Amino acid sequence: MIEQTLSIPLKIYLIQELPAEDIELIEAAKEATFRSYSPYSHFSVGAAARLENGIIVSGSNQENAAYPSGLCAERTTLFYANSQYPDQAVRTLAIAARNTEGKFLQAPIPPCGSCRQVMMEVQQRHHLPMRILLYGTEGVYELANVNSLLPLSFDESFL
Ligand code: THU
């Protein structure tokens, strides 16, 4: 038996420690939570992607009475980014969420597994690392690339 431990590099910043362009991106993700369509969970998630050309696109979770037909904010945003700008790498993705009381979360929400899988493919498609910023009122988590969020990932190389 061989035992291995995989560790994930993670940096936690106070928001004021971040460069202006990251703060701008986080603000876009926070704003996007107010465009969430979440009448079932009342949990409002927003995401904002900064593309290689500097453009910011944002999106929010979109729910449906047929629950599995809804989509998370991260995938709404990434699919929109790649639909509108297929040649532009996503360099940074910021995520923010408000709870059922409408308040931004103190600790960031970690993206769901399906969103991590999509993030991985978006990163690989463009051959450039995609930084992830997870906003919480008490700290912002920074992951340098999607690999940190999804170790032991499945991708096209196994096909
Ligand atoms: N949600 C997201 O948009 N992103 C995540 O990373 C986790 C969950 C949404 C899906 C659903 O609309 C609501 O939050 C509750 O799960």
Instruction: Give domain limits for the chain.
Output: 11-115+127-150
Over residues 110-132, the pLDDT tens digits come to 999 999 999 999 999 999 999 99
CB 13 within 8 A of CB 23: no
3-state secondary structure of 5: coil
74 catalytic residue (yes or no): yes
Residue 156 has pLDDT above 90, yes or no: no
Give me the mean pLDDT over the 31-45 stretch: 98
Residue 155 has pLDDT above 90, yes or no: no
Full-model pTM: 0.96
Nearest CA to ligand 1 atom 9: 72
Active-site annotation holder among 17, 31, 74, 101: 74
**Ligand 1 atom closest to residue 62's alpha carbon, by position in its atom list:** 12
Element (H, E) at 76: helix 73-84
Assigned CATH class of 11-115+127-150 = alpha beta
